[in-house]
Amino acid sequence: MNKELEHSFVELLEKHQNIIHKVCRLYTNNYDAHNDLFQEITIQLWKAYPKFRGDSKFSTWMYRVGLNTAITLYRKSKRSITTQDFEGVSFKMKAEDYDDTEEQQLKLLYKAVHKLNDIEKALVFLYLEDKDYREISETMGISEVNARVKMNRIKTKLRTILNP
Amino acid sequence: MDELDLLKKDWNKQQNQDKTLSSKDIYPMLHKKSSSIVKTLFYISIAELILWILVNTIPYLYSEEYRNKLDVIYTNDYLFTIVTVFSYAVILLFIYLLFKSQRSISVTDNARKLMESILRTRKIIKYYVLYNLVVAGLSLLIGFYFAFTKDPKAHEVFASLNDNQLILVYGLITVVTIVFILIIWLFYKLIYGLLLKRLNRNYAELKKLEV
């Protein structure tokens, strides 16, 4: 692979890295695992990059590869066992922006999202990233109707966790 | 307000807080080795291909007696030649299918399709192992049959056994076979179970959505 290709890839990745970070925060719960998954997603993106045609947006393409790596390809690293947990730290909340109840609710919500299974997390992630149901269904390989139904179930689930 | 909308509001606020890596950090990442399950699965498949080829050829390479026996059989019996050619053709077919399936795994497919391609690759290697086990079992049975009917020594030993001893011998053979199969089955359950646990769980979850 030539230097030019490498350079353009790194430039794009640097610009859009927050997408990978968000996937990592959703699927890991400590610093080392986060870095490990970030590394694996980067490798997968780089391996697939020569086939990236530019007919879809680089960021759209990253969502797919990132989620596929997190849900399917990634094996949990052995290194991740010894490090401290950063649940709660992972989502830095700016307390001044919320009143107490809202902050409390957010804390609970993030915790609840972390407890969802891998597929549910993927749907929530795409939803939070403002993807429409067509894109969600195309990324996951399920029908649009089913994506909608599942999303509604997840909302109910989260509501029950917040208001037991 | 919808719970998820509350989350979304906060989520969007942290858009830029993660841009921590510079291009200097990213460059070395490109040259690190992947530890994805596809790669592991590929190595296991290659190991299995080689293992079973070795299992079939090592006795031939190391035991002169075995070689002589086989050479006699091959020169006399066309059937055995056909069987050998067939078995190599099957191995080649499996290698072809495996590589074809492996190449079809693409991280840019949708989640469900990606999972299906990986599971298909796994299935091919599973059938390969199954095929080898069946062939090994059949060879053993045919071997026993020839030994008892054609080998005068074995025939003599067998003739001297009474009914109870015969039952014991058959029982022993059955138990050994079952234990052997069980160990192999457990071995595979363990490797693939551990490797594909997450994939299987997530695939089941996706399938559940489509019902």
Which of B31, B34, B106 best tests the A interface by mutation, with the highest count of A CBs <10 A?
Answer: B34
In whole angstroms, give the CA distance from residue A5 to residue A9: 6
Q: Which domains does chain A have, with CATH numbers?
A: 1-78 (1.10.1740.10), 93-164 (1.10.10.10)
Token readout for B170 is: 């058959």
Cβ-Cβ contacts under 8 Å, A17 against chain B: 18-21, 26
**Which pLDDT score is estimated for A1?**
56
Beta bridge partners of A30: A85
Better-predicted residue by pLDDT, A103 or A127? A127
Tell me which chain B residue has its CA closest to the CA of residue A130. Answer: B8
Nearest to B112 among A43, A118, A142 (CB): A142
Q: Would the CB atoms of B209 and A119 count as touching at under 8 Å?
A: yes
CB-closest option in B20, B109, B206 to A142: B206
Give A69 or B126, the one with higher predicted confidence.
A69
Does pLDDT of A86 surpass 90?
Answer: no
Position with higher pLDDT, B84 vs A144? A144
Nearest-neighbour CA in chain A from B37: distance (Å): 5
Q: Is the pLDDT of residue B57 over 70?
A: yes
| Partner A, chain B 103-122, Cβ-Cβ below 8 Å | 106-115, 118
Residue A88 confidence (pLDDT):
42
B24 contact residues in A (CB cutoff 8 A) = none
Contact A41, A69 (CB under 8 A): yes
Which residue shows structure tokens 């071997």?
B143
Full-model pTM: 0.82
Number of CB atoms found within 10 A of residue A99's CB: 9
- Output A132 or B144, whichever has higher pLDDT: A132
B190-202 pLDDT, tens digit per residue, is 888 888 999 999 9
Q: Do B29 and A68 touch (CB under 8 A)?
A: no
- Confidence check: pLDDT of A87 > 50: no
Q: What is the pLDDT of residues A6-17, one digit of tens each?
A: 999 999 999 999
Comparing CA positions, the residue from B122, B97, B110 lying closest to residue B40 is: B122
Mean pLDDT comparison of A57-66, A89-98, B128-137, B153-162, highest-scoring range: A57-66
Provide Rg for chain B, Cα atoms: 27
Cα(A154)–Cα(A117) distance, integer angstroms: 10
Is A73's CB within 8 Å of B13's CB?
no
Can you tell me which residue has the tokens 């649940």?
A87
Over 90: is that where the pLDDT of A120 sits?
Answer: yes
pLDDT tens per residue, range B28-49: 999 899 889 999 999 988 998 8
Q: Enumerate the residues of chain A whose CB falls inside 8 A of the CB of residue B40.
A: 75
* B5 closest CA partner among A70, A130, A116: A130
Indicate left, alpha or beta for A54 from its phi (over 0: left) and psi (-120 to 50: alpha).
Answer: left
Nearest to A17 by CA among A59, A55, A67, A76: A59
Q: Please answer yes or no on whether B18 and A22 come within 8 Å at the CB atom.
A: yes
Whether the predicted pLDDT of A94 surpasses 70: no
CA distance A32 to chain B (A): 15
Helix (H) or strand (E) run with residue A77 in it = none
**Using one digit for the tens of pLDDT, what is the confidence trace for B61-113?**
777 777 776 666 666 677 777 877 888 899 899 999 999 999 999 999 999 99
Question: For residues A110 and A91, what is the distance between their CA atoms, to the nearest angstrom?
Answer: 8
A21-35, A89-103, B130-144: range with lowest mean pLDDT: A89-103
Does B172 or A91 have the greater pLDDT score?
B172
What one-letter code names the amino acid at A147? A
Between B20 and A125, whose confidence is greater? A125
Give the pLDDT of residue A147.
95
Q: Three-state secondary structure along A89-156?
A: CCCCCCHHHCCHHHHHHHHHHHHHHHHCCHHHHHHHHHHHCCCCHHHHHHHHCCCHHHHHHHHHHHHH
| B120-147 mean pLDDT | 84
Contact A72, B37 (CB under 8 A): yes
Given a cut of 50, whether residue B164 has pLDDT beyond it is: yes
pLDDT grade for A82, boundaries at 50, 70 and 90: very low
User: Between these two residues, B86 and B116, which has the higher pLDDT value?
Assistant: B116
Does A72 contact B111 at a Cβ distance shorter than 8 Å?
A: yes
Tell which residue, B109, B26, B3, has the closest CA to residue A71.
Answer: B109
On average, the pLDDT of chain B sits at 84
Interchain CB distance below 8 Å, B19 and A18: yes
Asked if residue A85 has pLDDT above 50, the reply is: no
Q: Is the Cβ pair B32, A39 closer than 8 Å?
A: yes
Write the residue in B7, B34, B115 that is nearest to A44 by C-beta.
Answer: B34
A99 pLDDT band, cuts 50/70/90, is: low
The more confidently predicted of residues A161 and A128 is A128
Chain B residues closer than 8 Å to A117 by CB: 201-202, 205
